[in-house]
Chains A and B, each alone.
Chain A
Amino acid sequence: IAGITQAPTSQILAAGRRMTLRCTQDMRHNAMYWYRQDLGLGLRLIHYSNTAGTTGKGEVPDGYSVSRANTDDFPLTLASAVPSQTSVYFCASRGQGAGANVLTFGAGSRLTVL
């Protein structure tokens, strides 16, 4: 089934630990995104990648890093987690051609930092 897979679904993490959230898509979409969603706030863009080999900073990039070694994978790394990074994280991708503006989202990763 074509789509986006995120892992883990949920994770509890001690502050100061390193954590990588994985995101894989099989739709051959060029553009990929990482958002965080917090209660009462809209989705906020952390990092994005317009194509394999390139990345860019979004609205709230501090404390996060990404890489885009190939088209399919776009992992998000928290080098040293802090409690303010407790959130639900969504990976998304956007294709080309007809419907190119539409974002497709993964199921989300719920992260709790204690």
Chain B
Amino acid sequence: GQNIDQPTEMTATEGAIVQINCTYQTSGFNGLFWYQQHAGEAPTFLSYNVLDGLEEKGRFSSFLSRSKGYSYLLLKELQMKDSASYLCAAVDSNYQLIWGAGTKLIIKP
């Protein structure tokens, strides 16, 4: 079956760095997404990786290893506004998105 695993909840301190991991098992693979979702709001796009390696976009970076079925989202210089859920989603062979349950990130001052 198809499966996405990510931690349910993480806590970090303002100004610090946090890494949110995601492992996936899909029938075929056409890339991996990270979305951010603030409480009561819609998910918004953060990153898309289809090739192995690290992609940096400001304070946020996303890494993919296709051979290991693994990705992570790295958030640097954490701000209180980064408190949100982070959703990992893999694209399968039919170009459908398989979603993880999300990681709730709590930032403490």
Which residues 26-69 in A have Cβ within 8 Å of B in the complex? 40-45, 48, 58
Counting CB contacts under 8 A, is A105 at the interface? yes
State A108–B98 Cα separation when bound (angstroms).
19
Which chain A residues have a beta carbon within 8 Å of chain B's beta carbons? 40-45, 48, 58, 90, 101-108
- SS class of chain A's interface: helix, strand, loop or mixed? loop
Counting CB contacts under 8 A, is B70 at the interface? no
Which chain B residues have a beta carbon within 8 Å of chain A's beta carbons? 4, 8, 30-31, 33, 41-45, 48, 87, 89, 91, 95-102
Say yes or no: B101 contacts A40, CB within 8 Å: yes
Q: A101-B31, A101-B33, A103-B97 are in contact. Are A42 and B87 (CB under 8 A)?
A: yes
Say yes or no: A43 contacts B42, CB within 8 Å: no
Residues of A within 8 A of B41 (CB): 107-108
Query: Closest chain A residue to B45 by CB distance?
Result: A102
Q: A42-B102, A101-B31 are in contact. Are A106 and B87 (CB under 8 A)?
A: no
State A111–B91 Cα separation when bound (angstroms).
28
Say yes or no: A101 contacts B91, CB within 8 Å: yes
User: Nearest chain B CB to A104's CB is how many angstroms away?
Assistant: 8
Say yes or no: B42 contacts A42, CB within 8 Å: no
Residues of A within 8 A of B100 (CB): 42
Residues of A within 8 A of B101 (CB): 40-42
Say yes or no: A90 contacts B87, CB within 8 Å: no
